[in-house]
A and B are shown apart, each in its own frame.
Chain A
Amino acid sequence: MTLPDLATGSLLAVGGVFFLGGTVGLLRFPDAHSRLHAVTKADNLGLGLVVGGLILQADTPSLAAKLLLIWILVLLASGTSAYLIASEVLSPHDAPDGRSGDDQPGA
């Protein structure tokens, strides 16, 4: 196994670990906000590692650029989705961890 192959394998494996962690967080965290946090952060980092591993295997620069573009687009889309979900969930009656609703961000 050559060095790029080894690096790709380990990057993919570590990325998989992050995905696993994000999913465990999604299943086990108590409320919507912490779940969003886990899924968005861990999964995107995992995807970045996977994409990095695949870029090492790319034949042409354009293929590597496309892979990078995938990661950037997923970052944008998942960040926006997390924000939209959070702003739907965050209502005047709701607060993370059951604290009072005084410290809400401006609507």
Chain B
Amino acid sequence: MISLALDLSLAALTLWVAWRALSHRDLFVGVVLYIIFGLLLSLVWVRLGAGDIALAEAAIGAGLTGALLLDAASRRSRRPRDGATAKPDPAPRRGVRVPLSQSAGIALLVSTLAGILTLVVSGIDGSPARGLTRDVTDRLAESGIVQPVTAVLVIFRGYDTLLEVGVLFLAALGMLASRRMRDLSPVARATKEDPVLDGLVRVLLPALVLTSAHLLLVGTHRPGGGFQAGAILAAALVLLLLAGHRSVSAIQGAWLRFALLSGFLTFLAVAAGPMLTGDRLLELPVVLSSRFILVVEAAIALATGVTLASLFAGARPLPSSGPGRNNAFPAATDEP
């Protein structure tokens, strides 16, 4: 009874915060509400028994996405336009006005979506024979991993994970190409130095690296694994970026490209390796798989961490004008 009340209030609160995040007049407030929504969602994942997802949602969904959106929300209000003073977010005062001619169509679309999802939900029955839980737990011993979700990610559905690391790589490539960045240093120099922040970095950075390694190693037995470790690693790099630490500029040029590539290439090598000996793609020999698992997970963690951090760096504003402008790329077309 109490757990039902807890679930009910959690679900209602999550829906309400999501609605307010999207409909609030001030974009900045909306983004802050979205971060809160992300954390509430992590609680929902815990309630539904999804520990791995809760870790990833808190770090990536609420944390990194929130940071990206905060940058996007605050930058616009600071940017001057044609010499005029910066204007606040020009959201309509009375909420979004939908013309009457369109509202019927929109209502139809949304209710069709709701109808389809309701049909899907009502058609699901919970009999054990229809699910994949039994299939996975029966073959867990074959995979060499105890935690079912990690086993599915790395071994049973390794193809999906390979493509996912590829998607990450493409996104990083797109970001780097659109900004013509050769390294992360121009962004790092844009932030000012602060002794208190430096002290915090000094304490947090070892803790973050340790936590990332812990999540990586523990991922085979408990909630954790490559992606969560990568998210913590990305958080460490983003912290370095925000603190304007000089060490970030060490990741440049060939090293940056190598770091971004290495995760995807390692996974691809492990996946395609069996093809050289006549097996099919991703058909890893069972006796070797436990060693390969650690290599693959580490590759995933590195790829995720460096990629998410460079995605964050690529979305940051550069110094707008004046003496702070750097010459990393002379043809920067950022500020029109």
Question: Are A and B genuine complex partners?
Answer: yes
Q: Which residues of A contact B (CB under 8 A)?
A: 73, 76-77, 80, 83-84, 87
Q: Convert B202-246 into 0s and 1s, putting 1 for each residue whose CB lies closer than 8 angstroms to a CB of A.
A: 011001000000000000000000000000000000000000000
Q: CB of B334 within 8 A of chain A?
A: no
Are B200 and A80 in contact, with the CB atoms below 8 A?
yes
Q: How far is the CB of A58 from chain B (nearest CB, A)?
A: 16
B197 interface hit (Cβ, 8 Å):
yes
Complex Cα–Cα for A76 and B206 (A) = 14
Taking CB atoms, residues of chain B closer than 8 Å to A77 are 200, 204
Q: How many residues of B contact A (CB 8 A)?
A: 8
Q: In the bound complex, how far is the Cα of B199 from the Cα of A77, in angstroms?
A: 11
Residues of A within 8 A of B197 (CB): 80, 84
Q: In this assembly, does B194 line the interface, its C-beta being within 8 Å of a C-beta of chain A?
A: yes
A84 to B207 alpha-carbon distance, docked (Å): 21
The A/B interface has a contact count, at CB < 8 Å, of 16
Closest 6 CB pairs of A and B: A80-B200, A83-B196, A80-B196, A76-B200, A76-B203, A80-B197
Residue of B nearest to A87 (CB): B194
User: Could you give, for residues 159-200 of chain B, a 1 whenever the CB lies within 8 Å of some chain A CB and a 0 otherwise?
Assistant: 000000000000000000000000000000000001011011
- Residues on A with C-beta less than 8 A from B196 are 80, 83-84
Question: Smallest Cβ distance from B214 to chain A, in angstroms?
Answer: 10
Bound-state Cα–Cα, A83 to B198, Å: 13
- Tell me the minimal C-beta distance from B307 to chain A in angstroms: 24
CB distance from B7 to the nearest CB of A (A): 19
The CA-CA distance from A84 to B204 in the complex, in Å, is 16
The smallest beta-carbon distance between B136 and chain A, in angstroms, is 28
- Tell me the smallest distance from the CB of A38 to a CB of chain B, in Å: 17
Closest to B199 in A: A80
| Distance, CA A87 to CA B207, complexed state (A) | 26
Contacts of A80 in B (CB 8 A): 196-197, 199-200
**Cα(A83)–Cα(B138), bound, Å:** 53
**For the complex, what is the distance from the CA of A84 to the CA of B203, rounded to whole Å?**
17
Q: Are A73 and B194 closer than 8 Å at their CB atoms?
A: no
CB neighbours (8 Å) of B194 from chain A are 84, 87
Q: Which residues of B contact A87 (CB under 8 A)?
A: 194
Within the assembled complex, what's the spacing in Å between the Cα atoms of A73 and B239? 14
Shortest distance in angstroms between B251's beta carbon and chain A's nearest beta carbon? 24
Bound form: Cα–Cα A83–B41 in Å: 29
Expressed in whole angstroms, the Cα–Cα distance for A55 and B200 within the complex equals: 25
Bound: A87/B200 CA distance, A: 16
16 contacts between A and B (CB under 8 A): A73-B204, A73-B207, A76-B200, A76-B203, A76-B204, A77-B200, A77-B204, A80-B196, A80-B197, A80-B199, A80-B200, A83-B196, A84-B194, A84-B196, A84-B197, A87-B194
| In the complex, chain A residues whose CB is within 8 Å of the CB of B200 | 76-77, 80
The CA-CA distance from A87 to B199 in the complex, in Å, is: 16
**Alpha-carbon distance A73/B204, docked complex (angstroms):** 8
Kindly list 14 other residue pairs between chains A and B, CB separation below 8 angstroms, not including A73-B204, A80-B196. Answer: A73-B207, A76-B200, A76-B203, A76-B204, A77-B200, A77-B204, A80-B197, A80-B199, A80-B200, A83-B196, A84-B194, A84-B196, A84-B197, A87-B194
Q: Interface centre among A76, A80, A83, by most B CB within 10 Å?
A: A80
Task: Quote the shortest CB–CB distance from A68 to chain B (angstroms).
Answer: 13
